[in-house]
């Protein structure tokens, strides 16, 4: 049994929704992940960069009509609890539209069967997870549920779009809340099942030896630097001059250039003082216009390339420790940069890599533990899958009764 959508979400470090979010592909949990299906997911991701994939409306309407035959109201019962067709219909509609499946074609019908199998399998797994969490007395804290609801609302574009989405599928917020609560139960059960899992120091060391060249374990070149900013944004200067002196046209442009030149000269003077040995941090605290670093003497800490604007980073990475840059102009104004340290690109040490390695290995074990638990639980559970929801491999797993 392959890890289902819900499980992939539960075991990921960062939240990304499964069936509840139309922007995520729906991957069948017990269908071979073929090259065709990988292509479908790539196409889905591409389509979702825009408002939708363009296709002929009448053709799609006809195809949808063929695939929308009425279905029984109950998908299955899991240990006596019914799974409503309402959820299945919602996920099916979202998945079919997102993937652009055309059930009027042979390929579209094959894809649709895979999609339906994945949805049903996912719903069964979710029901088992929620029931086990309840059986173990795992409680969903109100604040955790509230955060999950807020996350779903944000993913669908805010309250208005969220309510419209629910209404489209015949749900109220109260009716849909248990669905969101189920995802939180999943988190709780994942943590409960994996609470005794550990990763040894030797396992971390061996993993790093095998994956030393992984990008995650490469430390790019870094510099540690401070800067002094003399703010000089032409548009803001122009607005201020218009307000204060009622200038416009060529007179305004000339006045803006005069002010820009004056500010550059101020930056040059600060650079000259720094070059002459003045305390750079003291100069920054007294003169910098950068509110984020002024109080700490212009300190930017250590950073890699592409952290700041291109001109700023190019100037910083051209310096040796102790050197002060020429005046660097960016959209923010004029900068004087001082580099205090450089670190060459290198591989991460064991101590640096260990947290990420432990996370990876623990995630793999969590996945396997939850996967094994689900496989065993599905076999033992009292599951009655109604026709015509026994799609694909589900027909073998749940024979007709």
| Structure confidence by residue, pLDDT tens digits, 81-112 | 999 999 999 999 988 888 899 989 999 999 99
CA dist., res. 284 & res. 266, Å (int) = 13
CATH of 221-344 given 3.10.50.40, 3.20.20.70, 3.30.70.260, 3.40.50.2300: 3.10.50.40
Tokens of 161: 């779009």
Mean pLDDT value across residues 150-165:
92
Q: Which fold has domain 5-200+357-397?
A: Triger factor/SurA peptide-binding fold (1.10.4030)
Decide if pLDDT at 149 tops 50.
yes
Residue 9 has pLDDT above 80, yes or no: no
**CB neighbour list of residue 255: distance below 8 Å, 6 or more residues apart:** 241, 245, 247
CA-based R_g, the chain, Å: 30
pLDDT at 139: 87
| CA-based nearest residue to 390, from 129, 76, 174 | 76
Mean pLDDT over 25-34 rounds to: 30
Tell me the three state secondary structure of residue 75.
strand
pTM given for the model:
0.57
Bridge partners of residue 219, in order along the sequence: 346
Q: How confident is the model at residue 201 (pLDDT cuts 50, 70, 90)?
A: very high
Question: At residue 242, does pLDDT exceed 70?
Answer: yes
Our measurement of the distance from residue 11's CA atom to the centroid of its chain's CA atoms, rounded to an integer in Å, reads: 14
Show me where the domains of the chain are located: 5-200+357-397, 221-344
Q: Is cis: bond before 67, omega within 30 of 0?
A: no
pLDDT above 80 (res 255)? yes
Q: What are phi and psi of 229, to 5 degrees?
A: -110, 130
| Mean pLDDT of all residues in 220-225 | 96
Q: What are phi and psi of 349, to 5 degrees?
A: -75, 170
User: Residue 186: pLDDT band by 50, 70, 90 thresholds?
Assistant: confident
Average pLDDT over residues 319-334: 96
Grade residue 222 by pLDDT with cuts at 50, 70 and 90. Answer: very high
The structure tokens listed for 250 are 């060529």
Indicate whether 16 pLDDT > 60.
Answer: no
The backbone region for 298, taken as left when phi is positive above 0, alpha when psi lies in -120 to 50, beta otherwise, is left
Contact between 198 and 364 (Cβ < 8 Å): no
Is 80 exceeded by the pLDDT of residue 58? Answer: no
Rounded average pLDDT over 253-263: 94
- The three-class DSSP label of residue 119 is helix
Question: Can you tell me the mean pLDDT for 49-63?
Answer: 38
pLDDT (tens digit, 9 = 90+) per residue, 377-387? 999 999 999 98
pLDDT at residue 190, rounded to an integer: 86
d(CA 166, CA 150): 14
The two beta strands, 346-347 and 222-231, are unpaired
pLDDT band at 183 (very low <50, low <70, confident <90, very high): confident
- 27 pLDDT higher than 70: no
pLDDT at 68: 53
Banded model confidence at residue 246, pLDDT cuts 50, 70, 90: confident
Q: How confident is the model at residue 51 (pLDDT cuts 50, 70, 90)?
A: very low
63 or 181: which leads in pLDDT: 181
Q: Is the pLDDT of residue 24 over 70?
A: no
Q: 345 or 44: whose pLDDT is higher?
A: 345
How many residues would you count in the chain?
401
Reply yes or no on whether the pLDDT at 203 is more than 80: yes
pLDDT given at position 401: 67
**pLDDT band of 17, cuts 50, 70, 90:** very low
């Amino acid at each position: 049994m392959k890890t289902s959508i819900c499980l992939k979400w539960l075991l990921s470090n960062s939240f990304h929704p499964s069936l509840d979010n139309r922007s995520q592909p729906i991957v069948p949990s017990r269908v071979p992940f073929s090259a065709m299906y990988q292509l479908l997911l790539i196409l889905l991701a591409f389509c979702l960069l825009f408002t939708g994939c363009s296709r002929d409306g009448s053709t799609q309407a006809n195809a949808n009509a063929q695939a929308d035959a009425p279905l029984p109201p109950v998908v299955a019962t899991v240990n006596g609890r019914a799974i409503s067709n309402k959820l299945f219909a919602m996920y099916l509609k979202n998945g079919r539209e997102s993937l652009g499946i055309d059930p009027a074609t042979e390929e579209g019908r094959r894809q649709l069967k895979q999609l339906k199998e994945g949805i049903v399998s996912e719903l069964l797994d979710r029901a088992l997870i929620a029931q086990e969490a309840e059986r173990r007395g795992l409680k969903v804290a109100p604040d955790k549920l509230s955060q999950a609801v807020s996350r779903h609302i944000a993913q669908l574009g805010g309250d208005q779009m969220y309510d419209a989405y629910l209404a489209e599928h015949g749900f109220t917020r109260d009716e849909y809340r248990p669905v969101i609560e189920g995802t939180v139960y999943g988190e709780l059960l994942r943590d409960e099942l994996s609470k005794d899992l550990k990763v040894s120091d030797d396992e971390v060391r061996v993993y790093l030896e095998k994956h030393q060249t992984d990008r995650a374990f490469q430390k790019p070149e870094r510099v540690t630097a401070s800067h002094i900013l003399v703010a000089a944004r032409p548009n803001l200067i122009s607005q201020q001059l218009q307000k204060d002196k009622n200038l416009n046209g060529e007179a305004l442009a000339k006045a803006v250039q005069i002010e820009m030149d004056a500010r550059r000269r101020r930056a040059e003077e600060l650079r000259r003082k720094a070059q002459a040995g003045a305390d750079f941090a003291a100069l920054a605290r007294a003169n910098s216009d950068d509110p984020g670093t002024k109080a700490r003497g212009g300190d930017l800490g250590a950073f890699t390339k592409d952290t700041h604007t291109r001109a700023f980073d190019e100037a910083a990475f051209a310096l040796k420790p102790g050197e002060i840059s020429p005046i660097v102009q960016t959209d923010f104004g004029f900068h004087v940069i001082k580099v205090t340290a450089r670190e060459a690109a290198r591989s991460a040490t064991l101590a640096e890599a260990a947290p990420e390695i432990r996370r990876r290995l623990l995630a793999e074990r969590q996945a396997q533990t939850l996967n094994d638990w689900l496989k065993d639980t599905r076999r033992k559970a009292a599951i009655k899958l109604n026709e015509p929801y026994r799609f694909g491999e589900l027909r073998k797993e749940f024979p007709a009764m």
